[in-house]
Amino acid sequence: MKTITLPEDLTEIHSVFEQAYDEDVIVQLADGRQFILSAVDDFDIEIVQTRRNEKLMAFLEQRAKQTQTIGLDEVKRQLGLS
């Protein structure tokens, strides 16, 4: 993900950002290309970064395939909490 900081003197585009704060906005260029402008928060960024963590994603995929479970009584027995 790339972050671009815009100068403050772009008053015309600020109204577009204000609209994007409330709902996603599609920005269309004169040549027809379109882009989505969407407000993000720290959690959105964290999700993107987490999904890019290949080791974590592989681990979670492996864990999702596991079908064997250990019952509560067995966990208590193994921990000596019977």
CA atoms within 13 A of residue 75's CA, in its CB half-sphere = 4
pLDDT tens track for 20-77: 888 998 888 888 888 888 888 878 888 888 999 999 999 999 999 999 999 999 999 9
The answer to whether the pTM exceeds 0.75 is no
- Nearest to 3, CA basis, from 57, 48, 34: 48
Q: Taking Cα atoms as reference points, which of 66, 9, 42, 7 lies closest to residue 50?
A: 42
Q: Closest Cα partner for 36 from 48, 59, 20?
A: 20
